[in-house]
Chain A
């Protein structure tokens, strides 16, 4: 029954679309009215028939691209071409004057949302001249679905119709529209219907720079005919949904072990107390780290213990299970679930409930950086080579790509995209995107690192920079404070003796302090925070950019700013000797640092001095300094010590991570030496008052906005996290840490002391830190007050307020506080809880990535330092495997794996799981035993990993 079309008025007619929507198991017949217009513009600058409204102008060029082999043409892309060639589409090498039919845009959105947003971004950029043509609303290009036609065939027909239309519409201007499609069936139909169509490969090969272009194309399906492996097929969508719904299958993100790429865990806290284990290539079934997967429990006979082996791409062991075609009914599965829960509660068995992956809901495939594995190049000529790319992310498998330039790519850091993982291939298939530069090159590695952690490092765009004050660096605090209503609300605090204390060389000064003894014996203490929100107004491009970056990223020799430098290092930065806007928290504290009173205000301050921690310490320590500023700093120090004591008594944790600092040679900026960060009293001075300010502000904004206050929480760690550590401590040292509350943990950590080894306590703290939960931002409406608790700081409520230049949460907190004190109302977009939820999600992710990027940067530089200075160092064994140990070297803050084969005779290795002991015959035949927590001397040198191209510290046991 073809739907009839009815004319409504001149240029507008209406028809109906009928389809079935199956959702949540139901089937609903949906009937939509579908309006057709005859005035949908073609967007060609050549065309003089189409009319444009005020906001729109034609985009497609007067003189479209042409080559010797192709006359002037526009391009129409089908969905698969867009999905496959999105990288090419974004590059400036090829594909100009592109028409994206609406049909394609919608299909792309359903297939991959990230690519959809990239495509939308392209349609806004001018360079590529890309337009979206609303073919389904255009009377000339709409066709009704035919009876029995599949949706794919129908969409193809709609797209062919667009091509047909453009060719007839533009025929008199001598421009052709070429449809690019890789669908064989579609190409055949195009031929039948005399529609001009080419496959993407055919098209690119007609271009002058085809060699380079063809390489960046994703692998065509029939290119690879390797059938080296057979993975189990994924279950059908309907089975996955029903299974998850009735709790016989489980859905969660795959967490691949960084030691063994064939071991992953799925965390299902609401169902199982411990993560479910997925082990072995066959059971992992093509799931990669971070993918959202659906798993099914294996029968009890196939449960395994977590691996004690180290498996990476270089030591691919064969840990596959034999095929099993057992059919287990849902009924039996429910019993199995109970069994699994019980097994997790009981402690005796090392066997853990194990599962296999039966479906992947969503891939977490982004662009990856990696390096070509030289041994996978089959021929030396520049023919099409299939080779493996080892990715920088350790928990990802190597990716197979096809390239003609294999030899050029050797020793290069390259970016690849993963396209697919067919069930017959051992490796996912991808394609080459671009080269970053030679391996080990500083800039290359830095860019790779930023890419790898999804850090936005491109310069700020023009419309972001347009939001900055026009005066630029000339901007000053206005002389006349009564000129403006908002300005009148600011408190003039320029008479206060304010100073800032920061790490040496700090240019983005977020915070400054002052203290003064009051006549009643109490202290007036002020914390002044850069008033970023004066410059970053909500819902501006600047604000959006800040929100999407969420945090500044600190690498060893580079800082990726959240806000443009003008703000960060000048206008907002609380530089000494100049007037600056600030947001101040002023307390009245008594002798014992109890809060008598607190006040929040927007203010103007003038910092007297910017100290480094060391300078401040020296100034305080020198008794000859008797000026008021120094006196104030002494009061601050005294108060901060009391604050710290109170916090510690309440159970705040003193955790540790092996933090090191890399000193750079100032001339060559080569890393010179590594130093462990020293903590001075003044460090904790600043820290204590920042904590106090954060807590005070958190209370205030929660009071004012109980639903949308931006807060930060740190959940108590589940005791299971500490099990492994506790077992090691108990067996090796006869100690335990208790985790009932932070106080107990703090105290028990204090008790973990080895008289013979000073460092042991720090080591335990480092390991305990790794067992903790990560702190996270949240919107207050999502948790109950009890859950606001910050475990590490032992605070009942907490937020981030004190670093708005480098963290976006602080910006939000500033706005909320400004609204809470009646300075200016909250922007509507910041009052919407769902929007805030999205912002928070992004903030947490960016924050984590920034931390990882920072650590990776240090790791890289430490590797460079070790390269220059090979030496023997003291280290501690922190993990024992059947075939190796992990050693941490505190002096460099690095840890590395020493494989058994490098220490001695591999066959003599004896692993005692209960005792965390690995015994073996070393190279000269002596029996050696290694335990966890053992202090060992290792010879450190830096070795370039052939597989990943990463320089890493490699230890040799002495």
Chain B
């Protein structure tokens, strides 16, 4: 984690300016404005879907989705559990141990929200077989305490660009077993979120300073924030999990309902805009193939 050494005077100035009724962010952004970022998708040729996001300050995250055919255990009472196991999230944040609290918390909360928002019926191939998604996320470098926004943007795009090979054998193998066969043409593969009403969830971290909230806080803003809120957005709604997080080591005051409502309203406002711009990148067909 990146520590910004600000002098007490600087801290106080920054805190003051962010606390105003019309706050001024150090980089002159609006409270609902993101720092510029660069995103590409489908850049890993061997993956079913992939994305790469780079922030202006050098923070970078890669996400890759691979699909593998697995056979489902039949006659298992707990079918839902099996379906939930069709998504596996592996998270690697540079500088943090894989088994650290932070990593595993983020991974499991990401998995939890993905299970609800990935069209599992699309993963199901036949009665006996299904695709299992292996989502690998690597945060190469980051400056914020919680690189949640970064990795959720990358995951969102990777999932959105994920395509699954087209099944050509019969779908009904309940009584008569068949081995799945797929079309050899990659072009005929099906987009996971193609015509689905579902959409992968996005996690937004907002910093709370006084009564103001700020999207995509910079490290300096984080360091003077009193609190952080992580909100999950999907399909035009704010969904669970919604949790407070600590962005700075000090000044952790309580959080009040007004702040939550404000954050709620903010994410609800910018959510559609973010998804729209990300979707545009995904649907842009110009591939970035790396050699």
A-side interface residues toward B, CB under 8 Å? Answer: 1, 3-4, 6, 14, 16, 18-22, 24-27, 29, 31, 33, 145, 147-151, 236-239, 241-243, 245-246, 248, 327, 329-331
Contact = CB atoms under 8 A, between A and B. Distances in A.
Main secondary structure of the interface of A (DSSP, over half): mixed
Contacts of A6: 291
Contacts of B184: 19-22, 151
A202 B148 CA distance: 69
Nearest to A6: B291
Interface size grouping (class) on chain B: 20 to 34
B168 to A, nearest CB: 8
A243 B175 CA distance: 11
Interface in B228-255: none
B68 interface: yes
B185 A20 contact: yes
Nearest to B180: A25
Given A25-B179, A238-B181, A239-B170, 18 more contacts: A3-B289, A14-B291, A16-B289, A18-B45, A20-B186, A22-B182, A26-B69, A27-B165, A29-B46, A145-B187, A148-B187, A150-B185, A238-B170, A238-B178, A241-B179, A242-B173, A243-B177, A245-B179
A236 B289 CA distance: 37
Given A327-B175, A330-B176, A20 B165 contact: yes
B73 interface: no
B181 A1 contact: no
Contacts of B287: 1, 3-4
Nearest to B69: A26
Contacts of A31: 45-46
Contact of B177 (A4, A27, A147, A246): A246
Nearest to B66: A29
A663 to B, nearest CB: 60
B105 interface: no
Given A29-B165, A329-B175, A238 B186 contact: no
Interface in B35-54: 42, 45-48
A29 B48 contact: yes
B180 A22 contact: yes
Interface of B: 42, 45-48, 67-69, 71, 129, 164-165, 169-170, 173, 175-189, 285, 287, 289, 291
Nearest to B188: A148
Q: Which of A16, A25, A236, A329 counts the most B-chain CB atoms under 10 A from its CB?
A: A25
Contacts of B180: 22, 25, 27, 238
Contacts of A327: 175-176
A238 B175 contact: no
5 contacts: A1-B187, A236-B181, A242-B178, A329-B175, A330-B175
A15 B185 CA distance: 17
Contacts of A239: 169-170, 176-179
Contacts of B165: 20, 22, 27, 29
A255 to B, nearest CB: 27
B132 to A, nearest CB: 11
Contacts of B46: 29, 31
A330 B287 CA distance: 45
B162 to A, nearest CB: 11
A1 B189 CA distance: 12
Contacts of A29: 46-48, 165, 186
Q: Which of A148, A241, A242 counts the most B-chain CB atoms under 10 A from its CB?
A: A242
A26 B129 CA distance: 10
A237 B185 contact: no
A760 to B, nearest CB: 54
Contact of B182 (A20, A149, A236): A20
B46 to A, nearest CB: 5
B289 A151 contact: no
Given A20-B184, A27-B69, A236-B170, A242 B45 contact: no
A22 B187 contact: no
Contact of A20 (B71, B175, B177, B189): B189
A52 B90 CA distance: 53
B73 to A, nearest CB: 15
A798 to B, nearest CB: 43
Nearest to B177: A242
A21 B165 CA distance: 9
Contacts of B175: 327, 329-331
Contact of A27 (B67, B173, B285): B67
A186 B194 CA distance: 33
Contacts of B177: 239, 242-243, 246, 248, 330
A150 B181 CA distance: 16
B185 A16 contact: no
Q: Which of B71, B173, B182 counts the most A-chain CB atoms under 10 A from its CB?
A: B182
Contacts of A330: 175-177
B110 to A, nearest CB: 24
Contacts of B47: 29
Q: Which of A22, A27, A151, A242 counts the most B-chain CB atoms under 10 A from its CB?
A: A27
Nearest to B46: A31
A296 to B, nearest CB: 10
Nearest to B71: A25
Contacts of B183: 20
Contact of B129 (A1, A25, A245, A331): A25
B154 to A, nearest CB: 20
A150 B185 CA distance: 7
A331 to B, nearest CB: 8
Contacts of B178: 236, 238-239, 242-243
A236 to B, nearest CB: 6
